Structure 1
């Protein structure tokens, strides 16, 4: 067998196989073909030596906004994926049933990087974060019948239903948008992802309605509507939700993640199921920057390297019900992320402007997409200028 590509001598960390060892990974015809020691190459095989670097399944970012040009939130997934090591972007509600066709034709189908979507229950999707009008604030915009129709016509790329509830996203609509979205999710047998911001409604009201397999994003948000009380104790409804199978996603974003909350949650033994960036036009230049930076924050908060990689590979793929993603098992999607784990002194910031000094960081060094080496900077000099990896002897991170 002649492989298309072999990554040689990297530290392969694949939680789907409980694997952490120095190995080669080979790709053929867009899939992972083999994993082992000293795999043989042949004429035409491209080889990349990656000693000292970490090779993981392609990173999945479970909460992003990549409807570039269609909403004011959208970023260019392809350019950003090259620089950040993310091979699967999950857009969470940028498009609703009224504009999903444009999202699919003009962005999803033209992108080399994989884009999946949670469809917004609001007809218009998240049309603009600068408008100060939430898409669920006007109940007449909610379109459950059209949602079901659009989902049935696009099941290859739509993986769930998105709803945003809270003071800024749904105004005085209360829990009605959540209940309507739950009906759509139930009708289509898909998971629901619920956004939470300022009350009303409250954290406990929202999480108590979610079902096994549903996702609460912005789960480690600050006061108000934090999952912990003033004494740092986890609210009973949060623990009860986890026991019945509700999933907790970070969704960092511009205003939805606080170190204070994360410290309390982790101290109580409550780790997130998935770590996502909520990258969009308002968070890309801080406080989020990218997915490796988001993962690095949790490394510095005390999670292990295996745990943060699991939260952005195996666990995220499980949420999406896409077992072919988030794994380097032979036959899996031919995606891999190459990361450097650097030690030093690095400053990180949360949405409350708290600065945390950490002693390590993950930096993307390469990407394999559909079995081919994907040059991080090829054709995207603007991404290279903004996102070029900083040398390992640098003592301060630019963010």
Structure 2
């Protein structure tokens, strides 16, 4: 092993990509992982005994175009708060304003930001407590040619195409924006992430159109447009979509996670493929809060800790087609998250105001970004 710049010593390393769960050291040098094992040495050693070390958390659904859109939060502050070393912005910017997002936010950020490009020319441009204009209402904004050009010019950071559908997001346009997004995704060879809110269109109509590798976000929505029927059974179209390789993502956000739906889906043997927060200005102070809070909710639902971590590391890395992320194998990107499990009584809310009291919650205790140690500032832990 080459000389290490940083060693995390004595933590419980959980890396689902390697089926690894043991107490050991992790070493970093030149921005990558260079070794795992006992008694590793390096220029800087951090004792993380009593804590959990995971690959850097990947939040597949965030909004981090801070200052460029009204819903954007700061990705670096979010990394300190929630241990997320890769924030995937999902459609905040469209082809008309992506260059500004890239220059002023993505390229300036010390933490990784990847993006799904919105099919709407202006992205999500009117989303606040006072104003809510679904960008997919206006078919004049569906910018297929521009989206292809911008995606091709930014292949290093654009990971897919985002389209938002539903009564709130697309209104009278219905499912038609999906037709445009599918054409752009096909032309560029990129996957889609598809938002679904209240009908129309129906949940079933949307998932029927999705291809292997496409992401259906907000997959544990409340009624209407829940993935379960009135008897609590998973809809057949949803089962068929998973069978052909559609990826189901939580995307908690302000309106898209229901305890009732979650209990029914878990009881039916349909856990999510990916756990993400959909963090933005309207939900960072509740009900979503952040990624570790969203992950903690699955402890309440009986999911094993290792499986929760997989859905916030290796699973989103797979969805992004970025195998260098989401793991701690030597040669992987040098990102790691240090977590603790706190015991007690913790209220966890869904988007409908239902609270569940959990006996455990996950907290972020620090992150390694590009092989360098970051530590949360006082008062920044949720």
TM-score interval for Structure 1 and Structure 2 normalised by the shorter chain: over 0.9
Partner of 2:108: 110
Q: Deviations over 1:247-278 (max 9, x none)?
A: 10000000111010000000000010000000
Query: What CA distance in whole angstroms lies between the structure 2 residues aligned with 1:17 and 1:76?
Result: 31
Distance in 2 of aligned mates of 1:106 and 1:376:
24
In the other structure, the counterpart of 1:388 is: 381
Q: Is the 8 A contact 2:165 2:196 kept in 1?
A: yes
SS at match of 1:60: strand
Given that 2:363 and 2:381 are in contact with CA atoms closer than 8 Å, whether structure 1 keeps it comes out as: no
1:375, distance to aligned residue in structure 2 (A) = 2.3
Shift of 1:84: 1.1
> For 1:198, what is the secondary structure of its paired residue?
coil
Distance of 2:145 and 2:185 partners within structure 1: 12
Distance 1:375 1:49 in 2: 13
Q: Which residue of 2 aligns with 1:33?
A: 34
Distance 1:362 1:264 in 2: 23
Deviation readout 1:264-294 (Å, 9 max, x if unpaired): 0000000100000000000000001110000
How far apart, CA to CA, are the structure 2 residues paired with 1:140 and 1:128? 16
Q: How many pairs were matched up?
A: 379
Hey, what's the Cα distance between the residues in 1 that align with 2:35 and 2:52? 17
Secondary structure in 2 aligned to 1:178? helix
Corresponding residue of 2:121: 123
Task: Say whether residues 1:182 and 2:182 are aligned partners.
Answer: yes
Report the counterpart of residue 74 of structure 1 in structure 2: 72
Report the Cα offset of residue 79 of structure 1: 1.2
Give per-residue Cα distances to partners, 1:58-95, cap 9 Å, x unaligned: 00000000000010000011112112100000000000
Distance 1:235 1:59 in 2: 31
Distance 2:10 2:375 in 1: 19
Secondary structure of the corresponding residue to residue 289 of structure 1: coil
Aligned residue in 2 for 1:235: 235
Deviates more, 1:95-104 or 1:178-187: 178-187
Q: Tell me the distance in 1 between the aligned counterparts of 2:356 and 2:37.
A: 39
TM-score by length of 1: 0.94
SS for the counterpart of 2:124 is: coil
Secondary structure in 2 aligned to 1:169? coil
The CA distance in 1 between the partners of 2:256 and 2:96, in whole Å, is: 27
Report the TM-score when normalising by structure 2: 0.98
Question: Structure 1: which 5+ residue stretches go unaligned?
Answer: 378-383, 390-399
The alpha-carbon deviation at position 299 of structure 1 amounts to: 1.1
Shift of the alpha carbon at 1:2? 2.2
Mapping of residues 293-312 of structure 1, within 5 Å: 293-312=293-312
Partner of 1:381: none
Local SS of the residue matching 2:79 = helix
CA distance in 1, matches of 2:253, 2:132: 17
Spell out the pairing of 1:269-288 with structure 2 (5 A cutoff).
269-288=269-288
Distance 2:51 2:375 in 1: 16
Q: Deviations over 1:13-49 (max 9, x none)?
A: 00111000000000000000100111133xxx11100
- 3-state SS in 1 of match to 2:102: helix
Task: Tell me the equivalent position of 1:359.
Answer: 359
The structural deviation recorded for 1:232 is: 0.5
3-state secondary structure, aligned to 2:135 = coil
Distance 1:302 1:230 in 2: 23
Q: CA deviation at 1:343?
A: 1.4
Q: CA deviation at 1:347?
A: 0.6
Per-residue CA deviations over 1:161-204 (Å, capped at 9, x if unaligned) read 00000001001101110111011011111110000000000000
* Pairing of 1:242-261 with structure 2 (within 5 A): 242-261=242-261
Distance 1:174 1:79 in 2: 36
Could you tell me how far apart the structure 2 residues matched to 1:79 and 1:362 are?
18
Secondary structure of 1:167 counterpart: coil
Aligned equivalents of 2:71 and 2:125: distance in 1? Answer: 8
Structure 2 partner of 1:332: 332
Deviations 1:299-345 (CA, angstroms, capped at 9, x unpaired): 11111001100000000000000000000000000000000011111
- Other structure's SS at 1:136 match: helix
Quick one: distance in 2 between partners of 1:249 and 1:78? Answer: 23
Q: Name which of 81, 84, 91 aligns with 1:83.
A: 81
Residues 218-250 of structure 1 show CA distances to partners (whole Å, capped at 9, x for unaligned) of: 000000000001111000000000001001000
Distance of 1:8 and 1:37 partners within structure 2: 8
Match of 1:289 in 2: 289
Provide the alpha-carbon RMSD of the alignment.
Answer: 0.8
Q: Any stretches of 5+ residues in structure 2 without a counterpart?
A: none
